[in-house]
Chain A
Amino acid sequence: MNMMSESAVEKALDQKMSDASHKMIGKDVSVYYGEKRALFDVNLNVRENTVTALIGPSGCGKSTFLRCLNRMNDTIENCRVTGKITLDEDDIYDNNIDVVELRARVGMVFQKPNPFPKTIYENISYGPRIHGLSKNKADMDQIVEASLQRAGLWGEVKDRLHESGTGLSGGQQQRLCIARAIAVSPEVILMDEPCSALDPIATAKVEELIHELRANYTIVIVTHSMQQAARVSQRTAMFHLGQLVEENDTDKMFTNPDDQRTQDYIMGRFG
């Protein structure tokens, strides 16, 4: 691919993005941990085929919001979510939405690489297997290869598919986790500080991967690194003290934010 066509693809994607429908819509989302309120009426929309970065100082609620999007907060004792979050018009907190099905549509990559202590092949094939996505072994082999290809890991692991996934390096493990998330063909991928445990080279690889994944998936990423948000995302949302301060195009956010607090945070005056 030469430079011209690449930027053309970019342009097409950006075009697609600007008139993209909203994949997920959060309306007046509030989260309580017991008595403590962690999120205050957040209204945030996630656009299709877009990387949306959530930034903000520690404890601002960005991870909490992310975990609302695939109901991982359900696993936390005393956690209560109010408001409405929709995925393609479906209210994900509605009673007739199954959380298992939701998580098959909204995948997640965690802060620390957490491959299962099984082989690389089993790591990838687990999701498709429990959801019955493959009919036979050949089918599964293909899913595994395609997922690893997309995660840019195929070349590195194709000869050791049946070795343990925990034997890989940190960066490889994280890409394995991304491949594992892709394997169930989700529509949205949530990433909770996916590079915070990685070195700069591994980080660069994962960022490149996020960039490529944008063509097929909607991505929401929580990050502490301002530069990372600027590099990988098209939309950025800034959280502070459980409130959504500002949501904007990334370019605008980092050059001319509307809110003073965003300006201060990006300039490093607090946080």
Chain B
Amino acid sequence: MTDVVSPAAGIPKAKSVRRDIGIKGRYAAERRFRAYGIAALSFGIIFLMLLLWSVVSKGYTAFQQTMITMPVEFSQQIIDPQNERATNPQKLMTANYPVVARNALAKLLNVSVDDRVAARAVSQMLSDGVRVQLRDLVVANPAIIGTTQTVRLLASGDIDSAYKGQIDLNVSQENRKINDQQLGWMTQLSDSGALAKHFNSGIFVNGASSRPEAAGVGVALIGSFYMMLIVLVLALPIGVAASIYLEEFAPKNKFTDLIEVNINNLAAVPSIVYGLLGLAVFVNFMGLPRSASFVGGLVLTLMTLPTIIIATRAALKAVPPSIRAAALGLGASKMQTIFHHVLPLAMPGILTGTIIGLAHALGETAPLLLIGMVAFVANYPTTPLDPSTALPVQIYMWANEAERAFVERTSGAIIILLLFLILMNVGAILLRRRFERRW
């Protein structure tokens, strides 16, 4: 504007002076802030990548298992020498199946079973799990006794580790779990195609086992599934009902303020405290069985409730008051207003909160240790009252094992757990999209 002023007016023609209002500084601050943001983000991504890489690189081998495919002679001589299986069915359960398998492998390797040392070395190449594998075959079909069948049997954990290249072969053979003779046999079998890696379905279906090659997360998956079901069935209705009451119906007074503060505090209580509570109330006082996924589910419900209540109340609060006013103005009762209009609009938020709470519960370990879910459970729990474990507890237990083959299983179980968590979060996002409405 100063340019327009005529010099004739006696005012010296000043060049338009731009005030210094710190534009440069402001832009610099913004750039700095963005740089911090990007740095923080990259940092996070790098660590996430490191974690995933570490888990996946260690764990992907757990989904493959070394197995030996060979003809096995189900010798009557060994299984049922006195031919008493018709009168004593127990005989088939207790027969000496490992010898059957050893003999088959020895025959394949041209090793005499009379050479005791060599025979033991041969039998060490097979998993102890073959006992169960062969027994199941025979019990299912006793007619195969006396015949020769081609069977795929589990190799022992050490052979598995060696075949996957996880055993340091530079160590002298006295100090490793697998000797040079066995290594030679392994190469021989692998060259002939008898020994190979196959997809490991066992890790998904087997229960606990002290033999890594036969151990799986089957029991833990069922236990975790039961617990999630119990948490969902109990925590969702109780949490949503409590939130609706607190948010919409409860009078605002000191008492409800106290409840609100306590709910927020409970969300921050360490989970192990819930475990102690569960142990004292559900197991000791109410006499519910320990190690049961029912009790685990109850404890996790208590733990998840505050999360669900807080998320639901936030979602209810976020519904625009104009919608309530519209419904009330039409003569809808409070109940109708809430159930016809407020709740449907709050649904995406409620579902997101619930699924995040469930995901949190799925990964929770500490309270389960206290109620005895850290147990060696080999059989499937048929009801939630049977002993079982949970996925994160199974990971914890495997991480404590010494065998090399358990290391990959630990990581493999982590991968399974992460996949379930990702699945649940994707579910949360899809549900939110599905229910989200604009107003």
Residues of A at the B interface (CB closer than 8 Å) are 70, 72, 75, 77, 100-104, 107-110, 112, 114-117, 126-127, 130-131, 164, 166, 177, 180-181, 184
Q: Which residues of B contact A104 (CB under 8 A)?
A: 330-331
Interface pair A110/B330, CB less than 8 Å apart:
no
Query: A107–B329 Cα gap in the complex (Å)?
Result: 6
Q: Which residues of A contact B324 (CB under 8 A)?
A: 75
Interface pair A131/B329, CB less than 8 Å apart:
no
- 10 A-B pairs, CB-CB below 8 angstroms? A75-B324, A75-B325, A100-B333, A103-B329, A104-B330, A110-B326, A117-B439, A127-B330, A130-B330, A177-B326
Given A117-B437, A117-B439, A130-B336; A110-B331 close (CB under 8 Å)? no
Asked if B19 is an interface residue, CB under 8 A from chain A, the answer is no
Q: Which residues of B contact A127 (CB under 8 A)?
A: 330-332
Q: Which residues of B contact A108 (CB under 8 A)?
A: 325, 329
Interface pair B333/A110, CB less than 8 Å apart:
no
- B296-324, CB < 8 A from A: 320, 322-324
Asked if B345 is an interface residue, CB under 8 A from chain A, the answer is yes
Q: Which residues of A contact B322 (CB under 8 A)?
A: 110, 112, 114
Asked if B34 is an interface residue, CB under 8 A from chain A, the answer is no
Q: Which residues of A contact B326 (CB under 8 A)?
A: 110, 114-116, 177, 180
Q: Which residues of B contact A177 (CB under 8 A)?
A: 326
Which residue on chain A has the smallest CB distance to residue B329?
Answer: A108
Query: A115–B323 Cα gap in the complex (Å)?
Result: 7
Given A77-B252, A166-B438, A166-B439; A114-B323 close (CB under 8 Å)? yes
Task: Return the contact of A130 from the options B325, B329, B331 (Cβ within 8 A).
Answer: B331
Q: How many residues on the B side are at the interface (Cβ–Cβ under 8 A)?
A: 21
Interface pair B437/A110, CB less than 8 Å apart:
no
What does DSSP make chain B's interface, helix, strand, loop or mixed?
helix
Cβ of B146 to closest chain A Cβ, rounded Å: 73
Among A75, A102, A116, the one with the most B-chain Cβ atoms within 10 Å of its Cβ is A116
Which residue on chain A has the smallest CB distance to residue B439?
Answer: A117
Asked if B328 is an interface residue, CB under 8 A from chain A, the answer is yes
Asked if B340 is an interface residue, CB under 8 A from chain A, the answer is yes
Query: A72–B325 Cα gap in the complex (Å)?
Result: 8
Tally A-B pairs: CB < 8 A. Answer: 67
Given A110-B322, A117-B345, A166-B438; A100-B329 close (CB under 8 Å)? no
- B172-187, CB < 8 A from A: none
Cβ of A107 to closest chain B Cβ, rounded Å: 7
Per-residue interface assignment for chain B, residues 322 to 355, with 1 indicating a CB less than 8 Å from any chain A CB and 0 otherwise: 1111111111110010001100010000000000
Interface pair A126/B439, CB less than 8 Å apart:
no
Instruction: Give the top 4 A-B pairs by smallest Cβ distance, nearest first.
Output: A104-B331, A114-B322, A108-B329, A103-B331
Q: Which residues of B contact A75 (CB under 8 A)?
A: 324-325, 328
Among B322, B326, B437, the one with the most A-chain Cβ atoms within 10 Å of its Cβ is B326
Query: A110–B437 Cα gap in the complex (Å)?
Result: 21
Interface pair B331/A100, CB less than 8 Å apart:
yes
Given A110-B325, A126-B340; A181-B330 close (CB under 8 Å)? yes
Cβ of A183 to closest chain B Cβ, rounded Å: 8
Cβ of B204 to closest chain A Cβ, rounded Å: 43
Interface pair B331/A184, CB less than 8 Å apart:
yes
Given A77-B252, A117-B437, A117-B439; A110-B332 close (CB under 8 Å)? no
Interface pair B329/A101, CB less than 8 Å apart:
no
Task: Return the contact of A72 from the options B328, B341, B345 (Cβ within 8 A).
Answer: B328
Query: A18–B152 Cα gap in the complex (Å)?
Result: 102
Interface pair B329/A181, CB less than 8 Å apart:
yes
Cβ of B225 to closest chain A Cβ, rounded Å: 36
Cβ of A64 to closest chain B Cβ, rounded Å: 15
Cβ of A134 to closest chain B Cβ, rounded Å: 15
Interface pair A100/B332, CB less than 8 Å apart:
yes
Q: Which residues of A contact B439 (CB under 8 A)?
A: 117, 166
Cβ of B242 to closest chain A Cβ, rounded Å: 21
Cβ of A34 to closest chain B Cβ, rounded Å: 13
Per-residue interface assignment for chain B, residues 16 to 57, with 1 indicating a CB less than 8 Å from any chain A CB and 0 otherwise: 000000000000000000000000000000000000000000
Among B252, B340, B439, the one with the most A-chain Cβ atoms within 10 Å of its Cβ is B439
Interface pair A107/B437, CB less than 8 Å apart:
no
Which residue on chain B has the smallest CB distance to residue A131?
Answer: B331
Cβ of A127 to closest chain B Cβ, rounded Å: 4
Interface pair B325/A114, CB less than 8 Å apart:
yes
Q: Which residues of B contact A112 (CB under 8 A)?
A: 322
Q: Which residues of B contact A126 (CB under 8 A)?
A: 327, 330, 332, 340
Cβ of B260 to closest chain A Cβ, rounded Å: 16
Interface pair A116/B329, CB less than 8 Å apart:
no
Task: Return the contact of A101 from the options B327, B331, B438 (Cβ within 8 A).
Answer: B331
Cβ of B22 to closest chain A Cβ, rounded Å: 38
Cβ of B318 to closest chain A Cβ, rounded Å: 13
Q: Which residues of A contact B437 (CB under 8 A)?
A: 117, 164
Interface pair B438/A130, CB less than 8 Å apart:
no
14 extra A-B contacts, CB within 8 A, seeds A108-B329, A112-B322: A72-B325, A75-B328, A103-B328, A103-B329, A103-B330, A110-B322, A114-B323, A114-B326, A116-B323, A117-B438, A127-B332, A166-B439, A177-B326, A180-B326
Among B323, B325, B336, B438, the one with the most A-chain Cβ atoms within 10 Å of its Cβ is B325
Which residue on chain A has the smallest CB distance to residue B322?
Answer: A114
Q: Which residues of B contact A72 (CB under 8 A)?
A: 325, 328-329
Interface pair A70/B329, CB less than 8 Å apart:
yes
